[in-house]
Each structure stands twice: as structure tokens, then as C-alpha cells.
Amino acid sequence: MSQQDTPNTIYLKDYTQPAYWIDTVNLHFEIGDETRVVAEMEFRKNTSVEGHHVLELHGEQLRLGAILLNDHALANGQFSVDEGRLLIPDVPDQFTLQIETFIKPVDNKSLEGLYKSSGNFCTQCEAEGFRKITYYLDRPDVMAKFSTTIIADKISCPVLLCNGNLVDSGDMDHGRHYAVWEDPFKKPCYLFALVAGNLQCVDDHFITLSGRKVALKIFVEAHNVDKCEHAMQSLKKAMAWDEQKYGREYDLDIYMIVAVDDFNMGAMENKGLNVFNSKFVLAKPETATDMDFINIEGVIGHEYFHNWSGNRVTCRDWFQLTLKEGLTVFRDQQFTADMNSVAVKRIDDVNVLRTRQFTEDAGPMSHPIQPASYVEINNFYTVTVYNKGAEVIRMMHTLLGETAFRQGMDYYFATYDGQAVTTEDFVTSLEHASGRDLKQFRRWYHQASTPEVSVTGQYDEKKKSYKFTIKQTSVNEHNKAFHIPVQVGLITKDGTELVHASRLLELTKNEHVFEIENVTTPVVPSVLRNFSAPVKLTLSLSNDDLAFLMAHDTDDFNRWNAAQQLGVMVLLHMIEVYKKGHPEKLPAAYLAAFGNVLSASDADKALIARMLTLPDEDYLAELMPYADVDAIHLVREAACYEIAEKFQAIFLRVFTDNQQAAYKFDAESIEKRSIKNLCLAYLARLNTVETRKLAVEQYYAAHNMTDQMAAL
């Protein structure tokens, strides 16, 4: 929005195709404090749009030089400029337009368009930043082939980068040099990127499934060259994963990542030239934790995966943002799960959803993953569009199953490659490939709010069956019933999973009764396994049932969820009685369940570490009508101390068993560090000479940040 505009609302229902297409763009940059940009574009009338021949281009904060239409300079009066637009009435059906503009990257503090970060020039064009570089049809459904010439001073800007392949470069007069880049793929201008500066390059390569060699280059400031190894490995893992999981190969001969310090977001998927906030590239074990390493791997993966889900197939308009972001978050979640702990990744993602997205949905910012209107698109890069968007994709994955989902993805990529499409096109692809009807499911795209689901279960001794009654209690005049996949299972009292009872219930009405037959003994239900839908679930289970699920549920997410719920119940009760002056000890059932989990040798150690961490103080405070912070702290600390005392010997053994000689970044090593450091945290609470020594020794011996921080 330019300064003089009053905010005006843009509606999805008003979408119309552009009156003109742009087929090719030749950009010419003379980089400097005042940068000269010449854009030469070939326009073609969109025959499906009726009407007269007016060309209207976006442009902001530009100083206009010359305009040439089919090589003839336009005189004043043959065009007009106002409110972020350049208007040229009376253009032919097909024509070339050459526009000269001047911009000032140093004065650009918006970090959109072309700006300077630590002395280097770089661009950020999503969502609507390209219009700060030149006059253009700055909308994602206009896809063109770009070629770019960059001219700059050779001393201050030895590196000149743009999308695609480098086709020419050389020296010029006055100490300048040039580079010419061609991107063979049509793209919307939000994927354009240019970098000019003094950067060092870390090189590697990747051989694709079909045997093509891709040059991989990470550009950073000279003093950061030693912190790129992990990002490079992550990139190679991501490229191999997308081939193996989705059959998607990379398509250019070069893939570049540039790290800059000044960047509004985490990273940006510009075609062949990603720009990253340096915190998502730079890492070495001495200065980054396992969590940092995993996050970097995830963001590198995310931007890489956009090459197909976002770039090759892009969005028709910004209302479709979740088409690329929700889908790409889902893909990066799958990637991180495959590279690390599946269970812990799901727990972390659900935590983000419950704490941030549910809160967004409960407040004044509540909106569907595909909003119907917006004022400022930059405010719609939300946890709803991203993370709930990913959950909506995940539910379709659950409903269709792995094979049909993959077939749907293949169909989507094959059908819409090179096009700008809608979420409707995506859902239709999944329907087409699977034969499933997702008509009601589509409500997830258009209705805001978090559905509330209540579940009750009943064992019928005589009929030998178990009956689930599932209700959507949040259906109202704004929100019709959702199509909700509810994954359930039953576990017999001796801890055996009833295999035939494990199934996906599909709740489509306000209320539904599902009967599971052949249940011959009493069971404990496990509901909404793996958090199969982004809903608020009410299911009342006794503390005994929770302790039982914590020990026996075969669904890792629900095991953790039961542990959390039980921890909450137990601590909230202890806080209440403490406030009345009768401090209590942890119930025996809780300690027994804790001990079971701690000695479970088969389970993922990172998951065990999560399960054995008591709900944190903030979370407890949130659940109390009046948060007595002193009571919360004292009771939680006392509970930790009690656990530490009771399991001291086991903690010490597990701590010792999980020591590692050298630092490695892989799933197994991370798991070992998490369980070891959990044990250390409990032991240190005992505050004895021996346990203090353990912490001090680990602090000084640590060869990585995770261990050192844990010890500290």
C-alpha cells in the first residue's frame, strides 16, 4: 500500500484475469547508490478478457525515466502515473515495452524490492516487492521468462547473482563488470531475485536421480565460511528426499543460497537463488543446539521443496497462499520427521498449532486458511495459513492414504506444471486420483475457527462391542459440520492393542455413533491418534486411564499426550492442596507410569525425554483461573525433586549409558543427547556433590552447544 492510499479491501470473489500477459522480460541493472533499471517486456493481449486497450502496471517508489513502446518514446500525455500505477491507454494487441526506472537501495528500509544488507545488494519480491524495482504486472498469475544483465563495480560487488543459469560474464570499463543470467522457466515476478556484493562461496554438488549434476553454492560473508557445512548437508538431504518421497527432481544446473543479516522472514524460495536470514544457514556444533540444527534443516528443506510446490506450480492470486505454504510446510514436516524423530516432530508441530494457531483462531485475527478478503497481504502470512494449512493437507493425506495421496500429488504436478492455480485445483487433483469425494472436506478452506469435538466411549459387555459417540459441538450458523478424520484404537486392560479396532472414523455430521464389534474384554480408548485433525478434543479419562495410555498406547503422540494430561491433572491438584496448606506427594500411579516409560527400552529416546518432562509453568498458569506463580513454581520443583530422588539410580545409569565420544548430527545422536540431558536435569536438582560434579564436568568437556547449555 502506498502512503497516499486509504486502505481498501481486496476480495477473492472479484478476481479477474489480467488484460495482458507478459511473455519475456529482459532486465538490465546498473547497480549503485542510485540503481538504473531497464526492463524490456513483451506484452500480449489476453484474448479471454474483453474490453478496451489500457495497460495498467504496478510501481512504487520508482523514479521514472524513459518509456519506449515498440521502440518509440512515449511523450508526456501518452501515459500517466498515479497511486502506485502506470497507465498507458491505447496499446496494441502485441507490443514491446521498455521502461527505465531509478531506485535507491540504500534508502530502502522496507526490505522489499532491492535493498542493501551489510554492504550487499539483495532483493525480496514476495509478495508485492517487484513493483519497487520496475513497473510491472506484479501478480502471481503473470508468468514470464526472465533474463537479467547485472552491471556493478568489480571491487565492491565481485559476486553478481540472479535466477537461472549464468550465460555470460566479463569485464567492462571504469572498473565495472557484468553477468548475464537466464532463467529458462516461466515464473511470476515474486520469485525474481538478484544479489550483488562481496560474498564468499562454499561449493558442492548433487547428482540427481536421472544422473544430472547440479552445482550447489552457498554464499556468505567471508567470516562465516566455516558455518555452512550443515546447511549444505541439509540441502543435499532435501534434494534426495524429494526425489525418493515425491519423485521430484531439481530442474536447473545450479542451486544457490545466499545468507543475509537483514531479512524480514526466515527465508525465501526465489527460483534457483534462495535468500536466507543468516540465522537459518549458519551453524556449527559449538554455537548451535540440536534444535537450531533441526530448524535449519527444516527451513532449507522448506525453501527447496517450494521449487515444485510454489515455483513450478504457483498461486493464481494471493488468496491461494496456503496452496504453496500449507503444502510446503506439510512437506517440510514430513522431511524433518523422516530425518529425525517422527514422534517428537509431531509433538512439536501440534504444540505450535495448539498454542499459537488455536489462539489466533480464538481472537480477532481468526480467518480461514483461504481468506475471502484482505487489506494487506503481508499480514496474511499467518500460522493459520501456514500451520493449519499443513494440517488440512495432512488430513487429506490421512483420508486418502499414502498411495492415493502420492498419486494425487503426481497428478497435480503433471497437470499444472508451469501454471498459476488455485487450492480448488489441488483438491480436485486429489479427488481425481483417489476417486474420493472431498466436497464437504473443502469447508476446511473457507470456514475459520477450531472445531470442538467431544467423544464418549462405552463398552457393551453383552454385545461384546465398544461404542464411540462423537459430536462436533461447535457447529453453528457460521460453521457447518466439518469432515473430520478421527483415528481411534482400543487397548485391552492387559496392554494389548486390539488390531481390528484401530481405524479411521470419519465424522461428517453433528453427531455420529460408531460401533466396534468383537471387543471381548474391557478396554481403554485412544482417540484422535497422531492428532488426526486440528480440533479441540474433549474426552474424559481417569488418571488411571491416562497412566495406562502413557505406558501402553501404541500411538506415540497419544502416549505423550496422555503423559502431559496426567502431569497437568496431578500438578493442578497438588497446587490446589498446597494452597490450602496441605502439600501432597506425587501419586503412586504417576510415579509408576513415569518409571515404566523411563525403563522402556524399545521407545524413541527423544520421545521418552519429552514424555518425562513435566508440563511447564507457563502452560500450567494458562490452565488456572488465577495463576499463583509461586505455588506453581514450588509445587513443580518439589515434584521434580521427588522424581529425581525416586529414580536417582536409573537416571544415573541412563545418563552414563548415553554418553557419546564424538559429536554427530543424526537422529540417534540427538536422541541420546536428549535423554542424557533429561537425566542430568533431574539429577542436578538433587544438588549433591556428585550430581553437581556431573554438570560441571559436562559443561567443561562439552563439544557442542546442546550439552553445554544443558549442563549450565
Give the range of 86-94, 299-307, 348-356, 480-488 binding ligand BES by CB under 6 A.
Answer: 299-307
Residue 303 interacting with ligand BES (CB under 6 A): yes
What lies within 8 Å, CB to CB, of 622 at 6+ separation is: none
138 binds ligand BES (CB under 6 A): no
Does 555 bind ligand BES (CB under 6 A)? Our answer is: no
Closer residue to ligand BES, CB minimum distance, 260 or 586: 260
446: CB partners within 8 A, 6+ apart: 368, 370, 372
What residues between 95 and 114 interact with ligand BES by CB under 6 A?
none
Among residues 187, 306, 346, 610, which is the contact residue for ligand BES, using CB under 6 A?
A: 306
Restricted to residues 273-332, the positions that interact with Zn ion (CB under 5 A) are 325, 328
By CB under 6 A, tell whether 299 contacts ligand BES: yes
Q: Do strands 194-197 and 254-260 pair parallel, antiparallel, or not at all (unpaired)?
A: unpaired
- The whole-angstrom distance between residue 529's C-alpha and the CA centroid of its chain comes to 22
**381 touching ligand BES, by CB under 6 A:** yes
Cα 609–354–564 angle (5° rounding)? 35
506 is catalytic: no
Which residue lies nearest ligand BES, judged by its C-beta? 266
**Residues in contact with 352: Cβ distance below 8 Å, sequence separation at least 6, in sequence order:** 383, 387
Kindly state the smallest distance separating residue 377's Cβ from ligand BES, in Å: 9
User: Which of 269, 290, 292, 707 lies at the binding interface for ligand BES (CB under 6 A)?
Assistant: 269
Cβ of residue 524: shortest distance to ligand BES, in angstroms?
37
Q: What 3-state class would DSSP assign to 625?
A: coil
**Other CB atoms within 10 Å distance of the CB of residue 6:** 5
Which CB sits closer to ligand BES, 126 or 604?
126
Closer residue to ligand BES in complex, CB, 234/558 = 234
Q: Which is nearer to ligand BES, 128 or 290 (CB)?
A: 128
Closest to 245 measured CA to CA, from 204, 216, 209:
209
Which among Zn ion, ligand BES, none contacts residue 127 (Cβ within 5 to 8 A by kind)?
ligand BES
Q: Work out the number of other CB atoms within 10 angstroms of the CB of residue 72.
A: 10
Strands 452-460 and 465-472: antiparallel
Beta strands in 479-520 (DSSP E): 484-492, 503-507, 511-517
Q: Using the 8-state DSSP alphabet, how is residue 387 labeled?
A: I
User: Which of the following is catalytic: 60, 126, 297, 303?
Assistant: 303
| Identified binder of ligand BES from the candidate list 325, 555, 556, 604, rule CB under 6 A | 325
Residue with smaller CB distance to ligand BES, 381 or 413: 381
CA pair distance 259, 279, nearest whole angstrom: 8
In the structure grid, which three cell numbers stand for residue 153, read together?
Answer: 563495480
Contact between 268 and ligand BES by CB under 6 A: the answer reads yes
For residue 235, what are the CA distances in angstroms to 26, 47, 250, 315? 30, 42, 11, 24
The angle subtended at Cα 197 by Cα 196 and Cα 200, nearest 5°, is: 120
Interaction of residue 374 with ligand BES, rule CB under 6 A: no
Binding residues for ligand BES, how many (CB under 6 A)?
17
Place of cell 547473482: 161
Q: What DSSP letter does each residue of 290-311 carry, written as one string?
A: HHHHHHHHHHHHHHHHTTTBTT
Stretch that binds ligand BES, among 260-268, 478-486, 547-555, 665-673 (CB under 6 A): 260-268
CB of 265 to ligand BES, least distance (A): 3
For Zn ion, the closer of residues 331 and 367 by Cβ is: 331
Closest CB 247 distance from Zn ion, rounded Å: 21
With CB under 5 to 8 Å by kind, the binding choice for 265 among Zn ion, ligand BES, none is ligand BES
The helix (run of H) or strand (run of E) holding residue 391 is helix 389-400
Size of the site for Zn ion (CB under 5 A): 2
Shortest spacing between CB 112 and ligand BES, in angstroms: 8
> Binding of ligand BES at residue 265 (CB under 6 A)?
yes
391 lines the binding site for ligand BES (CB under 6 A): no
Closest CA to 528 of 501, 503, 548, 499: 503
Known catalytic residues are 303
Contacting positions for ligand BES (CB under 6 A)? 126-127, 265-269, 298-299, 302-303, 306, 325, 329, 332, 381, 386
Residues of this chain that bind Zn ion (CB under 5 A) = 325, 328
